[in-house]
Amino acid sequence: MLWLLLLIPTAAGFAAMGLRNPAALRRTLLPAAAAAHTALTAMCWAVRPEPVLNGWLGLDELSLLVLSITSGLFLAAAIYATGYLRREPPRKTDFQDGGLFTDAPEARFVACLLLFLATMTLVTLSRHLGLLWVGVEATTLASAPLIYFHRHHRSLEATWKYLLICSVGIALALQGNFFLAVAAKGSREVHLTVEHLQAHAGQLDPVWLKAAFLFLLVGYGTKMGLAPMHTWLPDAHSEAPSVVSALLSGALLNCAFLGILRVHALMGAAGLGEFSGQLLTGFGLLSMAVAAVFIIEQADYKRLLAYSSVEHMGILALGAGVGGLAGMGAMLHMVNHSLAKGMLFLLAGNILAVYRTKTALQVRGLLQTLPVTGPLWVAGFLAIAGSPPFGLFVSELVILKGALQQGQTAVAIGYLLLLGVAFAAMARIVLRMAYGSPAGIAVDPERSRGAWAVVPPMALGAAVLALGLCLPEWLQSALTEAAAAAGVR
């Protein structure tokens, strides 16, 4: 089963690279592989598969959660992408400077999307920290061509920044892995698998373990988008096609967070949970602060969503760092954020196609121009900003309650303050886009006509709404177990 989870996207990816014509076959391959992957993941919820490869690949509650989010979001994105690729004209005019540009070959795009899914699956499935590292670096390499889909100079600049910053960060994480190996040197026969390390946690050298956590936090934190290592995030998310942005924000950042959580769990088992928790909380607050500052008066609405991702990654880190009830809240928040952010990015793609501009000031009267996307956009904003009845309100409230329960009042106050600032800043921009009259703006509503453009975001939005209204019992227990596996209980 686990092998299938890995092999299906990989095989589909290579097949897509080989399938130059017909394009229709390639476009059905993408949602088909995504649907198969989601079906397999759903089966894993029912019957947990056994670990394979000498215990290196396996699923526990936490990785199953992340895998499900990834798989579900990829399915929605795949359906959207199929219609998107059908609609995209081969040569386009760049709306910012009027130059002509082309897109990368579609075969490469579809192949890289599927390989991206395969590498993210590898990250969630691996129980060996070295293999996890290989998977995270592989996600960087698989997603770099995706960012450079629209071949103009700004996306190239974003791709270069993404490649270099993430590669350097992940190299630091490799150094952290080696520190971990040195920490385990004292005891004989300690492999870097999660089970082994947890079992021998007491025998690990604390100084080396702390150094390892620091490097791994900075390294995987670069990939996750924690400030001050987040500088690649706004550029990459704003220049990539919206499908890719949705996947980057909703799936990739979670996978990087998974890496950090594994080490955090190890620190907890070794008795250094307070050290790692404080570091995580610090980085979380810093990310929220930086994001809030840059959301104020943000001109580009896709960059706005990117900074919102930084903020929510900060919330996740804060929740994990505080621990206790907040840890479970962080798990719920992971689910909610991925769904809401994916929805928003897909809608942003619609807006971009219709209004041909990325500047928020030049978009007005969304509710009138796009009768479905407009209201969904406002709903998505309400969701991501954390207002009821959407799911993020619940998860943010749980994190707040957890922080207060743990006695971290200062952290809770900072958290609330920054949430408020971000809410206000984002509201101003988004609502100005939605309301008003679209008179005098050149729009092209045909570009996003079709079920493919609205059904996936609608489905994601409905899921967030459902999670906000009621949290089913099986999901709550799954989240609690995941939090326990992440060492944040």
Q: Which residues lie near other proteins (CB under 8 A)?
A: 56, 128, 130-131, 133-134, 137-138, 140-141, 144-145, 148, 151-154, 156-161, 163-164, 167-168, 171, 174-175, 178, 181-182, 185, 191-192, 208, 234-235, 238-239, 294, 298, 303
What's the start-to-end Cα distance of the chain, in Å? 30
- How many CA within 13 A on the CB side of residue 54? 6
| Between 233 and 443, CB nearer to other proteins | 233
**Residue 80, CA distances (Å) to 243, 338, 347 in order:** 7, 16, 10
Query: Which residue in 223, 246, 463 sits closest to 335, CA to CA?
Result: 463
Question: 126: helix, coil or strand?
Answer: strand
Helix/strand/coil percentages in the chain, nearest 5: 75, 5, 20
| Between 143 and 276, CB nearer to other proteins | 143
| Between 105 and 407, CB nearer to other proteins | 105
| Between 138 and 354, CB nearer to other proteins | 138
| Between 134 and 372, CB nearer to other proteins | 134
For residue 258, the minimal CB distance to other proteins (Å) is 18
Rg of the chain in Å (alpha carbons): 21
For residue 224, the minimal CB distance to other proteins (Å) is 18
Structure tokens at 322: 């505080």
For residue 442, the minimal CB distance to other proteins (Å) is 24
In this structure, the number of other CB atoms found within 10 A of the CB of residue 286 comes to: 17
For residue 462, the minimal CB distance to other proteins (Å) is 33
Query: Longest Cα pair distance anywhere in the chain, in angstroms?
Result: 73
Return d(Cα 486, Cα 483) in angstroms, integer.
5
* Ramachandran angles phi, psi of 52, nearest 5°: -120, 180
For residue 416, the minimal CB distance to other proteins (Å) is 25
| Between 217 and 464, CB nearer to other proteins | 217
320 in Cβ contact with 485 (< 8 Å): no
Structure tokens at 296: 């104020």
| Between 184 and 285, CB nearer to other proteins | 184
Question: 29: helix, coil or strand?
Answer: helix
Q: How far is CA 36 from the centre of its chain?
A: 21
> Strand 100-102 and strand 91-93: pairing?
antiparallel
| Between 3 and 371, CB nearer to other proteins | 3
For residue 9, the minimal CB distance to other proteins (Å) is 17
Return d(Cα 32, Cα 281) in angstroms, integer.
40
Return d(Cα 472, Cα 468) in angstroms, integer.
11
| Between 60 and 300, CB nearer to other proteins | 300
For residue 279, the minimal CB distance to other proteins (Å) is 21
Return d(Cα 71, Cα 90) in angstroms, integer.
29
For residue 197, the minimal CB distance to other proteins (Å) is 14
Cβ neighbors of 129 (< 8 A, separation 6 or more) are 177, 180, 192, 193, 194, 197, 262, 263
194 in Cβ contact with 51 (< 8 Å): no
For residue 206, the minimal CB distance to other proteins (Å) is 13
| Between 92 and 152, CB nearer to other proteins | 152
For residue 233, the minimal CB distance to other proteins (Å) is 11
- How many CA within 13 A on the CB side of residue 295? 29
Structure tokens at 207: 């100084």
| Between 155 and 369, CB nearer to other proteins | 155
For residue 194, the minimal CB distance to other proteins (Å) is 14
